[in-house]
């Protein structure tokens, strides 16, 4: 099978190298070549963000069986989106060629954004690195985004989340392509971690830049999660609930109820990660009375129950 690996500007050399080393290890375990591979890029010498150079070709030298798309997305979401938007016109012809050749499409980190930009994800399920999920949803609402998942398969299209989840994508792909035996052997030889299902536990909750109104809300909410409600916030801010609701919509583009829910779940995630409090205790601390309802809401938002979330982090 021939694997083409697309290298956009500022890609991660560690991911590109890990993919070809793993494929080469599969060849070695089999004792005969199962895979050939080559790098595709706009540059003859594609330079990674760390400065490592990969010899590349402008187009595939033969029919593709698998096209792997990397992306140079960093944690600066606004800059990443600009770079990805600039890259879509260059990546789209290659993606469309792979589609015509009925190749498997595999996209890592921010590269699902490139697939969406090429129009191949419309109506399909996909994940993306967690720090681009809001931007991806806004830019491509036709895609059925599932950003809590680490790897998502929809037909011949595979997508994965942040950074080194590219290894999870590759091992999933190897099993699906009929190389389960070789994948197990390579996993042992290279001491690869077991496959993971979710990327939610790896998300970082960053305060970011907040306007004065949002800062006031954050300050009021801190330490008062049991009492948090629209009426409580309105009293503390000295305005009517109706006026406060309008300010939420006008300045934060969110309803008060949704904002309160998000803040409670952010605190719950922090407590699950940083404390030994029981899930029942955490449920009470963040302002929910019914443990079953809290667990259902947490699972609907993160893709896993509070217990699974904590277990995933400790693993």
Rounded Cα–Cα distance for residues 130 and 132 (Å):
5
pTM of this structure: 0.78
Q: In 3D, which of 67, 71, 143 has the Cα closest to residue 105?
A: 67
Domain ranges of the chain: 2-200, 212-314
Measured in whole angstroms, how far is the alpha carbon of residue 25 from the centre of its chain? 27
Residue 78 pLDDT: 83
Question: Distance between CA atoms of 242 and 142, rounded to whole angstroms?
Answer: 33
Parallel/antiparallel/unpaired status of strands 157-160 and 104-107: parallel
The pLDDT > 90 percentage for the chain reads 68
Q: Does position 109 have pLDDT exceeding 70, yes or no?
A: yes
Residue-wise pLDDT for 3-44, tens only, equals: 999 999 889 999 999 999 999 999 999 999 999 999 999 989
Please give the CATH topology (third level) of the domain spanning 212-314.
Arc Repressor Mutant, subunit A (1.10.10)
Nearest Cα residue to 302 out of 160, 146, 136, 78: 146
> pLDDT digit string (tens) for 54-79?
999 999 999 999 999 998 667 678 88
Instruction: Encode pLDDT of 182-194 as tens digits.
Output: 999 999 998 887 7
Strand partners, 152: 159
Partnered with residue 107 across adjacent β-strands are 69, 159
212-314 shares the fold of 2-200: no
- Determine the CATH number of domain 2-200: 3.40.50.880
């Amino acid at each position: 099978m021939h694997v083409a690996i697309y290298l956009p500007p500022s890609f991660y050399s560690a991911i590109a190298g890990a993919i070809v080393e793993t494929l080469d290890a599969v060849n070695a375990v089999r004792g005969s070549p199962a895979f050939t591979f080559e790098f595709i890029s706009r540059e003859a010498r594609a330079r990674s963000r760390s400065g490592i150079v990969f010899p590349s070709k402008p187009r595939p030298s033969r029919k593709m069986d698998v096209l792997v798309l990397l992306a140079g997305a960093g944690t600066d979401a606004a800059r990443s989106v600009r770079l990805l938007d600039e890259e879509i016109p260059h990546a789209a012809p290659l993606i469309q060629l792979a589609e015509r050749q009925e190749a498997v499409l595999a996209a890592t980190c921010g590269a699902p954004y490139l697939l969406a930009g090429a129009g191949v994800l419309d109506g399909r399920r996909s994940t993306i690195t967690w720090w681009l999920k809001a931007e991806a949803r806004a830019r491509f609402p036709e895609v059925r985004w599932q950003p809590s998942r680490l790897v998502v398969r929809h037909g011949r299209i595979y997508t994965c989340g942040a950074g080194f989840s590219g290894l999870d994508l590759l091992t999933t792909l190897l099993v699906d392509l009929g190389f389960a035996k070789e994948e197990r052997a390579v996993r042992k030889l290279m001491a690869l971690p077991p496959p993971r299902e979710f990327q939610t536990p790896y998300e970082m909750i960053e305060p970011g830049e907040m306007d004065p109104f949002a800062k006031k809300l954050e300050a009021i909410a801190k330490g008062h999660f049991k009492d948090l409600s629209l009426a409580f916030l309105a009293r503390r801010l000295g305005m009517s609930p109706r006026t406060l609701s309008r300010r939420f919509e006008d300045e934060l583009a969110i309803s008060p109820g949704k904002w309160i829910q998000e803040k409670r779940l952010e605190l719950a995630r922090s407590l699950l990660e940083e404390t030994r409090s029981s899930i029942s205790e955490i449920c009470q601390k963040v302002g929910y009375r019914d443990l079953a309802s809290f667990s259902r809401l947490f699972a609907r938002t993160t893709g896993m129950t509070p217990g699974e979330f904590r277990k995933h982090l400790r693993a």
